């Protein structure tokens, strides 16, 4: 039996009102490279899908959502971050507000050699977090929802979001890049490892951070 066509998959998702179901780790759709958007969805379907993804991301809540996380093998993601954090965390992690944005067919490349390691989570791996070292700055190339070219430099936490969501589109979960000795429950993250950096966790849990991780 052939797989459903993409428009039919989108229609079935949008047939039920409210936030879309988020796919959890273990579903093959999260491990398959996605297909470019191109002209595979008409404007009306695409607009409705983007709005549903925004609603789902906000309800979760999260700072990004990729199409595979709602079961669609499509190179599409949305990001948004109010960055409602303390000034210390804002400074240490480079976490600054990001407006709602749509990334169509995105790719990124590192800018410079700087890397930063922080705890990270994922809506498709609920209840857990782990330390991931990522590029401190990346150059994002993509299209927006109207097909306009995006070529932009992201640094700090926004760069982390871009990398995390683009990874989803390549079948990569954050756990593939994580220091697994740092894997911690949501409860441990909030009660024990809520510091701006993971240095205390690294010492207590027995994993290494490279010297340049927080440069």
Can you say which residues are annotated as belonging to the binding site?
122, 164, 168
Q: Average of pLDDT values for 97-103?
A: 97
Residue 149 lies in a domain: yes
Question: Distances in Å between the alpha carbon of 130 and those of 30, 124, 198, 200?
Answer: 18, 14, 10, 13
Range of the domain at 34: 6-125+134-178
Residue 19 lies in a domain: yes
Sheet hosting strand 128-135, strand order edge to edge:
115-121, 128-135, 178-185
Query: Could you tell me which of 48, 53, 157 has the C-alpha nearest to residue 103?
Result: 53
Residue 95 lies in a domain: yes
Q: Confidence band (pLDDT; 50, 70, 90) for 214?
A: very low
Between 4 and 3, the more confident residue is 4
Residue 35 lies in a domain: yes
User: What is the Cα–Cα distance from 91 to 94, expressed in whole angstroms?
Assistant: 5
Residue 27 lies in a domain: yes
| pLDDT (0 to 100) of residue 47 | 97
Residue 152 lies in a domain: yes
User: What is the Cα–Cα distance from 137 to 154, expressed in whole angstroms?
Assistant: 6
Residue 67 lies in a domain: yes
Sequence-ordered list of residues with C-beta below 8 angstroms from that of 98, at least 6 positions apart, any chain: 63, 79, 80, 81, 83, 158, 161
Structural domain count of the chain: 1
Q: Which residues are catalytic?
A: 165
Between 1 and 89, the more confident residue is 89
Residue 51 lies in a domain: yes
> What is the tens place of the pLDDT at every residue in 141-189?
999 999 999 999 999 999 999 999 999 999 999 999 999 999 999 999 9
User: What is the Cα–Cα distance from 102 to 144, expressed in whole angstroms?
Assistant: 6
Can you say which residues are annotated as belonging to the binding site for Fe cation?
122, 164, 168
The answer to whether 112 touches 12, Cβ cutoff 8 Å, is no
Q: What is the CATH number of the domain that holds 148?
A: 3.90.45.10
> What is the tens place of the pLDDT at every residue in 183-208?
999 999 999 999 999 999 999 999 99
Q: Average of pLDDT values for 107-136?
A: 97
The answer to whether 76 touches 104, Cβ cutoff 8 Å, is yes
Average pLDDT over the chain, rounded to an integer: 94
Query: Could you tell me which of 136, 133, 98 has the C-alpha nearest to residue 118?
Result: 133
């Amino acid at each position: 039996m052939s797989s459903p066509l993409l428009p039919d998959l989108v229609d079935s998702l949008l047939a039920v009102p409210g936030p879309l179901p988020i796919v959890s780790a273990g579903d093959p759709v999260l491990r398959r490279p996605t297909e470019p958007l191109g002209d595979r969805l008409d404007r009306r379907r695409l607009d409705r899908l983007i709005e549903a993804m925004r609603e789902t991301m906000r309800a979760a809540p999260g700072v990004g959502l990729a199409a595979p996380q709602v079961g669609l093998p499509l190179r599409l993601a949305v990001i948004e971050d109010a960055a409602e954090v303390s000034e210390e965390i804002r400074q240490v992690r480079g976490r600054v507000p990001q407006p709602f944005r749509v990334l169509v067919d995105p790719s990124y490349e590192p800018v410079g050699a700087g890397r930063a390691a922080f705890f990270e989570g994922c809506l498709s791996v609920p209840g857990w977090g782990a330390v991931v070292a990522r590029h401190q700055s990346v150059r994002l190339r993509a299209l927006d929802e109207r097909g306009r070219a995006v070529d932009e430099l992201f640094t700090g936490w926004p760069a982390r979001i871009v990398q995390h969501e683009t990874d989803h589109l390549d079948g990569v979960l954050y756990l593939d890049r994580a220091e697994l000795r740092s894997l911690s429950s949501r409860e441990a993250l909030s009660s024990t490892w809520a510091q701006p950096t993971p240095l205390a966790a690294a010492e207590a849990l027995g994993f290494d951070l490279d010297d340049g991780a927080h440069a």
